[in-house]
Structure 1
Amino acid sequence: MSQSATFAHQPVLAERCIALLGQGIKQVGREGRALLIDATLGLGGHSELVLQTYPQVRLVGIDRDKQALARAAKRLREYSERFTAVHATYDAIDQVAATYGSEEYPLAGVLMDLGVSSMQLDDTARGFSYAREADLDMRMDQSSGKTAADLLAELSTAELTEILRQYGEEKFASRIAREIVRAREESPITSSSQLVEIVRETIPAPARRKGGNPAKRTFQALRIAVNQELKILRNALPKALQALSPGGVLVVEAYQSLEDRLVKRAFQQAVAPAALEGIPLTEVKTFQLLINGAEKAGEAEIENNPRAASVRLRAIRKLSAQAERNGE
């Protein structure tokens, strides 16, 4: 039975994100009319602030989680004339932009708030948390795909090792993978407590005494594998950049190093000067970073919202034709 904890959903770095998206609206929108896409809608915290702050903006929220879509739509029902929810993974952002963008409402901004949501972590039936007893599901879209339990039952030692090493950066990946394969011969691994115990018993005692729960990296790795999170992000970033209207802004909040490295690399490639026929390579740029490096949350926000502690915020703007001529 699903048990959802009661919690106050607090969007991370909300005011900063809204201000950055506002730069895109100012550049692109005509009298404030523009389209924004919240590519990871969740419970709609950021979207609500966008709709409150920019009364002429239309917003499309994408999420693969039908439960999140339903709750966000309820939260944003007073903005129903300007808000549309789309059930999809956010690497379909090019299709969403083509469907909902127009000359009157050009795409001025995209927000990606990556990772697992508070709702998903707090719903014990979803199996995301190593701190709560639950079936090992971990699917963000529970209507399709294999669960974490399925992967633990089917994958070879080598495949499990690769997932734990690549997605969890787990130094004891091969040990844990071997123990998972051994343990499943005795009984299926279907619950979070079973997996936590396997990891705890496998990792050497000195390593268990530091860095929090020793199963954290294993759960992260499985969640990423189940939901193909890095593949979707890798596909979505160039599509979002291409879909933006000139002057539009892409804002990304990442919460772990694997995601942030992909975002950083995509932004670095985007701001590299492009070669145009008859124009020297160094004189043409298509994008401009709005933040040098990544911004972090302040101490006050982290104290109020612990999830903000790991955030890394990056933003990039697609240059307008005028900006390109001015060499910005």
Structure 2
Amino acid sequence: MEIANQTQVTLFLFSGLTDDEKLVSFLFTLFLVVYTVTVVGNIGMVAIVHCTTSLHSPMYYFLSYLSIVDLCYSSVVTPKILFNLFSKVKSISFNGCALQLFFFAALAVTEALLLSSMSYDRYVAICHPLHYFSIMTSSRCLNLILLASSIGFLQSTVQTSCIFHLRFCGPNLLNHFYCDIPPLLRLSCSSTLLCDLVTVFFTCSCGIGSMVMVLVSYSLIIASILKIRSTEGRMKAFSTCSSHLTCVSIFYGTVFFVYLRPPATEFGKWDKVVSVFYSVVTPMLNPLIYSLRNKEVKRVIIQAMQNLP
């Protein structure tokens, strides 16, 4: 990733989450707890899937990879937030900002595409159960994961290169708590039209495109569930899908609120609050929702706890 040298700015300052010193300790504790749960929950999910033979199926392979993405995704942002809460100068170097944005954007899109792949997996499992293992083979699952990662990192390379080839002449106060596209574009002293178009293009193609696939998959799933005569069968199918839809709704809703708005719109405190949900909260919720709503995962967790000395 080549970064242009035509800039007077060598570092960026963050406005942070709050100016109220009374809230700092509370926010630090809150974010530390959230990050700890995120790390433990996602590592635990990967370990459970890896060590439990009964969970060696496509759905759980996707879930374990989602946990890896969530762990990395959260780690790109949250440790810096925790450090800056008690730091007098909330700063990040120019190159450090570029790297943070690169990995954040790459992992965010990878997660979006992975969620759409998981919806396709649920569609095949519920609508074509007899052909599930012949359709969702190991090679197809791997190809879907590699495709999601490749698109995620490719679009991030384009977006990050576009933004950091702009000129930043000052001021260097970034109205956010991490390096994100909307507040960065507002600091540039050169035309941002191309970067605005690139952002909208990738948000629509990757974000809306993957969301449409999720909606289509679940529309077909719901239609199939309604045909199930057994009440127990319908409840089991709805329970399996509802956790996925919960994660998807939180993730897509908050992302679109921030990115699909006119460029001139001011980036305010509510944008920061919403950003907390898709950058910090969602990576924590995913393993919790999937584990608490999945009987097989709960069974493995309870069995493991009972075997503790």
The TM-score normalised by the length of structure 2 is: 0.33
Bigger share in helix: 2
Bigger share in strand: 1
The TM-score normalised by the length of structure 1 is: 0.31
